[in-house]
Structure 1
Amino acid sequence: MLLYDFLTQLPSMSTISKGVSTLSSTIVGYIVPAVLSWLFIYATYQIFLHPLHRYPGPLAAKLTDAYSGFYAFQRRLHLKTWQNQRAYGTVVRQGPNKLVFSTIKAIQDIYKNDRTTKPEAYIALGPALTVAATLTARDRHVHRYKRQLVGQALSERFMRIFEPTMINQVDLFITYLLQSAKESIPVNITERSKYLSFNLAGLLGFGYDFGMQTSEENKFMPMMLEAGEYWSNIFFQWPNTRKFRLGLVFVQVLRQTRGKYLALVEKMITSRTKQEKDAQQDLYSILAGSLDTGAGGLRQSELWAEANLFLPGAGDTTKTALSSIFFYLSRNPDCYEKLAHEIRSTFKDGSEIRGPALAGCHYLRACIDEALRMSPPAPGILWRDLHPGNDDLPFIVDGHVIPRGTTVGVNIYSIHHNEEYFPDPFSFHPERWLDDSATPERKKIMREAFIPFSLGPRGCAGKAMAYLEVSLVVAKTLWYFDFGRAPGGLGEIGAGAPGMGHGRERQGEFQLFDTFTASHDGPYLAFRSRDGLFS
């Protein structure tokens, strides 16, 4: 009876249905209009009242960082920014609180300025890093201290010490080209450059040889880092994706490889820390004793943070520089012949090709600079904030007073393809760097607009390493081989083509995919050893 009485007192299904209907009506009647009103107010403020409302730019970019995140997802943010700057002018609002510039004056005001720092979003560039590294440190004093330490291992003086190790690795690269030439197998320069560059990064950083030029075991590492950089760039451009873990649904497939990579980094560090500090001339010999190397666990240490950003930082820039210069030489026969003549007339034997001797190869340096101009290793925007503090001075960029809370930057691809600074910007023309008829003012303008490694106190410290590595590889390759595009479809990989999308139509331009640094494929080249140089 008690159960019966209880059940008879329960509301009927029709009563429940009416309650649900009433609740739904309440949601539709109050909550939805409230949300729509909020969105209307937000959009009105962003478009008409925000401190940046006077700056032109795409409507979607004024409302949300999802605009940049979308094009980062497509790996073409550098191209879209270039297109926006052609449409809207030299300063574009490319986010609710972001302005991107394209002038020499802006470069100076943003990057050669002690009052600017890196945004908090830079922490997205590390694999779950909790400790600031040289690349991500916002505090100028912390950055300056760490930069001085890391910079010692990347200085020109240290490169002279490291050069024999680098030459050994370059010779392995040449050996692979010889084997490919004998077997008439085309070579994917992107692939081989990755293995060379990451081997050198491991050796320079921690005296550790990943063995990627001779073994398959660790070849997953560049692929893992490329995937990580891709997602990190999305998080970097659209920070809420990291905050709300929106990307995790896509990156679950990477977790196993990521664990394998982190275990490899840990093995590299621990094997080095077991040795005496001065057992090898490498980055660790400089950092040991100066940075926390494992308090609270290795993966929470400053050494861990530096290692995880040093490897892609030292490896990625040079693989792009190498791939692009081989691409442009293979498609510009006059430049190829001129450079080959310079190398082959300067050296009597391949063993003579070393850093100091290469300093006199001016056309080689011009070819490298032109490749870096056309296809910069970090083609996108290196964002900066005004350093937080009590500084009440106005922040002025290219004559614009920048409101506090605004993030600013220069799109490297845009500045390198600005016709005002580089006439005929999509043509590979190394002679522009050697033109004796150019006025001092014209030369000064080109140099100031040329920022493949950024500049200022937070510019890339690895410039000397990149130039030495690329110079050695290109010079030794041209000494020992002739090369050209692979036959058939393979020979077109890496080039632009109609149908690839706006900005990718140029067949003579090496195609970069913006992942903060750059990913790419090709060129595929066929090598032929020069007569009598190999026994």
Structure 2
Amino acid sequence: MASSLLAVVFAAILNIVRILGLLVRRVPDPRLIVLTDWLLQTALFVSFRLLTHPLRNFPGPFLARFTHAYGAFLVWRRCSHLTSIQLHKKYGPVVRIAPDRLIFNSATAVQDIYHNPRVTKGRAYVQLRQGGQGTPNLFNTLDKEEHRKKRRIIAPVISERSMRVFEPDMWQQLEAFLVQLLQSSQQNQFVNMTPRCERLGVDVVGKLAFGYSLNTQTEPIHRVIVEGIKTRSNRSSLYFFWSFLRVFEPVFDWFEGRHDLDGFYRSVKTMIEARMSTPKESIHDFYALASGDIAPGEPGLISKDLWAEAVFFIAAGGSTTSTAMSGIFFYLSRYPDAYARLASEIRTTFFSGRDIRQGPQLSSCKYLRAVIEETMRMSPSTLAPGWREQDPASVAAGEPFIVDGHVIPPGTQVGVSTYALQHDASYFPDPYEFRPERWLPTNDNTPESDSEKDARVLMRRSFVPFSIGDRSCAGKAMAYLEMSLTVARTLWYFDFQKAPGNAGMLGGGRPGRSDGRGRRDEFQLYDSIVVDHDGPNLVFTPRGDFWKELEI
């Protein structure tokens, strides 16, 4: 039916062009010549996109067949993760979201796309470099060998072994976080956890990257880093989807100003210069480990790479964990049973707040890990699909690229919406319910059936907050440690609940909305390269005399 209608429309356009052509020959009006030429080009463009384009048989919104503007509009509204769920419900597990892009929504697609040696990062990642053409960093380099080299350089910085050495510095930043909460509680103030967690994340990564104390939790001078990350992220997310929009960069500068971006770069420059004036071996940090030789004859990061890697390191390490931590505080304040169970686990496992550190005791807190993973399932720190395409060498070799049974034409960028996948009821029953128990074995002695085991395996395969494969997030160990220490120590020293009245609603959805933001007890995320959010507002109460351990 649809193909017949398209054929009729195309035939009508050609007839109009033919009639205008006759008029042009009889009355050679230049305006008619221009109009005829435009209509002819339009007819050819429409016919190609509808009838002969390699992706013509993939379903999706009509406008997305012709332009990236459809998807870019969703990115601009910061709701593409919500719309992707609606699109998959309407069109199925694969949707054409742009002329050359497909989004999938299955566990099989995740493996086929992100765990595939024939696949590389898509061309879209070039737009995440400085000015769209700067030096590539670990995140946006396309070349596989270059990425492997960068990964070998950076991996030791954020490994579990490195985290054991770095933990005292992380502890120091967390201490400042807890003291700030104590002061707010003593002043009867409710606390917006988003800026508190963002500042903690930035302070931690500042120490890890360059041994530099940004002190954003206590001093305002470097807080512009947080806003600069958001400004850079919001623009980059548009370019990431539609590179054409980069031509409007001067317009964005004019409307928004460059204060946040310039301040961000100044602060990063300050950190680098301060660190370079200090002996390299004097501090255990990114600079010390990444600037040395990683192997005989294989140097670390040279000066031209250091800036690109530093910007990525600060932005990624300072923001992604803050999303998860803000989400954890949101869900615990909305789900009292989960709050009570986690508080009991923490308070019976340790004897003092000083005992809460990396090691067997912290690892034994299985419910804490389940809370973290359930939060990352419901509120992942990355919402934009990680665009991939077939490696040019694989294309040249004539190898097929198949995703979930679909043959993908060369040049097509494909991805999976983590948010949509992790809210698919076929993998996660009751996907909008915060249920940490889904990550734990059943409490009774009844052995799992084969179907239950298969469902658990499938759930794990569909849980990809750090992505998978050789391009997965290298900072996984650091993220888990930071989240575990922050949540465990907060629950040791404080009780908390959502703020009373309207203030306590911040962070949740608004009932009655039909755009995916109507769930009151779901932490609301806003699509960008670095996810944006606000809230929750919480009231903290010191727990007994335990707070006296904190240094004020």
**TM-score normalized by the length of structure 1:** 0.92
SS at match of 1:504: coil
1:347-426 matches, within 5 Å, as 347-356=350-359, 357-389=361-393, 390-426=396-432
Is the CA contact (8 Å cut-off) linking 1:126 and 1:308 kept in structure 2? no
Change (3 A) 1:403 1:433: same
Q: Output the CA distance in 1 between the equivalents of 2:29 and 2:185.
A: 75
Q: Output the CA distance in 1 between the equivalents of 2:36 and 2:251.
A: 31
- What is the match of residue 246 of structure 1? 248
SS at match of 1:266: helix
Write out per-residue CA displacement over residues 344-381 of structure 1, whole angstroms, 9 at most, x where no aligned residue: 01011010001212100000000000000000000221
What is the Cα deviation at residue 501 of structure 1?
A: 5.1
Q: Output the CA distance in 2 between the equivalents of 1:42 and 1:247.
A: 28
What is the Cα deviation at residue 26 of structure 1?
A: 4.6
Write out per-residue CA displacement over residues 474-493 of structure 1, whole angstroms, 9 at most, x where no aligned residue: 00011111100011111101
What is the Cα deviation at residue 279 of structure 1?
A: 1.4
SS at match of 2:531: strand
Change (3 A) 1:190 1:91: same
What is the Cα deviation at residue 215 of structure 1?
A: 0.4
* 1:152 and 2:156 correspond: yes
Is the CA contact (8 Å cut-off) linking 2:422 and 2:462 kept in structure 1? yes
- What is the match of residue 178 of structure 1? 182
- What is the match of residue 285 of structure 2? 282
Q: Output the CA distance in 2 between the equivalents of 1:433 and 1:507.
A: 23
What is the Cα deviation at residue 42 of structure 1?
A: 1.1
- What is the match of residue 458 of structure 1? 471
Write out per-residue CA displacement over residues 64-94 of structure 1, whole angstroms, 9 at most, x where no aligned residue: 1111111110011111111101110001111
- What is the match of residue 7 of structure 1? none
RMSD after superposition: 1.4
SS at match of 2:497: strand
Q: Output the CA distance in 2 between the equivalents of 1:87 and 1:248.
A: 38
SS at match of 2:40: helix
Q: Output the CA distance in 1 between the equivalents of 2:198 and 2:115.
A: 31
Write out per-residue CA displacement over residues 72-120 of structure 1, whole angstroms, 9 at most, x where no aligned residue: 1001111111110111000111110111101111100110112211122
Partner amino acid, structure 2, of 1:96: P
- What is the match of residue 99 of structure 2? 96
* 1:314 and 2:336 correspond: no
**Bigger Cα displacement from structure 2, 114-123 vs 212-221:** 114-123
Partner amino acid, structure 2, of 1:77: S
- What is the match of residue 344 of structure 1? 347
Match of 2:225 among 199, 221, 227: 221
Is the CA contact (8 Å cut-off) linking 2:81 and 2:420 kept in structure 1? yes
- What is the match of residue 264 of structure 1? 267
* 1:83 and 2:86 correspond: yes
Partner amino acid, structure 2, of 1:248: P
Match of 2:53 among 33, 50, 66: 50
- What is the match of residue 479 of structure 1? 492
Is the CA contact (8 Å cut-off) linking 2:509 and 2:520 kept in structure 1? yes
Write out per-residue CA displacement over residues 27-73 of structure 1, whole angstroms, 9 at most, x where no aligned residue: 52122332232122212211221111111000111111111111110
Q: Output the CA distance in 1 between the equivalents of 2:146 and 2:263.
A: 31
Write out per-residue CA displacement over residues 129-184 of structure 1, whole angstroms, 9 at most, x where no aligned residue: 51111101111000011012111111111111111111111111110110011011
Is the CA contact (8 Å cut-off) linking 2:129 and 2:136 kept in structure 1? no
Q: Output the CA distance in 1 between the equivalents of 2:172 and 2:94.
A: 47
Write out per-residue CA displacement over residues 454-497 of structure 1, whole angstroms, 9 at most, x where no aligned residue: 11100111111111001101000111111000111111011001
SS at match of 2:535: coil
Gaps in structure 1 of 5+ consecutive residues = 1-24, 295-300
Q: Output the CA distance in 1 between the equivalents of 2:415 and 2:33.
A: 42
Count of matched residue pairs: 503
**Bigger Cα displacement from structure 2, 142-151 vs 366-375:** 142-151
Is the CA contact (8 Å cut-off) linking 1:233 and 1:516 kept in structure 2? yes
Is the CA contact (8 Å cut-off) linking 1:190 and 1:320 kept in structure 2? yes
Partner amino acid, structure 2, of 1:163: E
Is the CA contact (8 Å cut-off) linking 1:75 and 1:513 kept in structure 2? yes
Q: Output the CA distance in 2 between the equivalents of 1:40 and 1:505.
A: 42
Partner amino acid, structure 2, of 1:455: I
What is the Cα deviation at residue 499 of structure 1?
A: 5.2
Match of 2:540 among 523, 527, 531: 527
- What is the match of residue 113 of structure 1? 116
Write out per-residue CA displacement over residues 322-349 of structure 1, whole angstroms, 9 at most, x where no aligned residue: 0001000000000000000000010110
Partner amino acid, structure 2, of 1:451: V
- What is the match of residue 133 of structure 1? 137
Is the CA contact (8 Å cut-off) linking 2:290 and 2:301 kept in structure 1? no
- What is the match of residue 258 of structure 2? 255
Partner amino acid, structure 2, of 1:411: S
Is the CA contact (8 Å cut-off) linking 1:127 and 1:308 kept in structure 2? no
**TM-score normalized by the length of structure 2:** 0.89
Is the CA contact (8 Å cut-off) linking 2:228 and 2:263 kept in structure 1? no
**Bigger Cα displacement from structure 2, 462-471 vs 245-254:** 245-254
- What is the match of residue 510 of structure 1? 523
SS at match of 1:142: helix
SS at match of 1:534: helix
Q: Output the CA distance in 2 between the equivalents of 1:364 and 1:346.
A: 11
What is the Cα deviation at residue 126 of structure 1?
A: 3.4
* 1:443 and 2:456 correspond: yes
Gaps in structure 2 of 5+ consecutive residues = 1-27, 293-298
- What is the match of residue 5 of structure 1? none
Is the CA contact (8 Å cut-off) linking 2:157 and 2:290 kept in structure 1? no
Give percent identity, aligned residues only: 42
Is the CA contact (8 Å cut-off) linking 1:484 and 1:525 kept in structure 2? yes
Q: Output the CA distance in 1 between the equivalents of 2:42 and 2:158.
A: 50
